[in-house]
Amino acid sequence: MTDVTVNIRDDGPLLVQGPCVLKDQAGNTVKESDNMVALCRCGLSNTKPMCDGSHTDNFDGTLNPPD
């Protein structure tokens, strides 16, 4: 089994840590990574679905899991 962790960053991207393949709706590979991919969560990136750092000082996205 492959270990993959999705880390939700306060005011930032989703960090997919571990080997992964990112595919579009048609099944085409968008990105392959052996270690980490940062997915935009703010909607401001010019390189969606990847984070390009545009969230910095422009996104308030803290998630608090339900109790």
65 Cβ partners below 8 Å, 6+ apart? Answer: none
Taking CB under 6 A as the rule, does residue 51 contact ligand FES? Answer: yes
Q: Can you tell me which of 18, 33, 42, 49 binds ligand FES, judged by CB under 6 A? A: 42
Looking at the Cβ atoms of 5 and 46, the one nearer to ligand FES is: 46
Taking CB under 6 A as the rule, does residue 37 contact ligand FES? Answer: no
CA 29 to chain centre: 15
Per the CB < 8 A criterion, the answer to whether 22 and 31 are in contact is: yes
List residues binding ligand FES (CB under 6 A): 12-13, 40-42, 44-45, 51-55
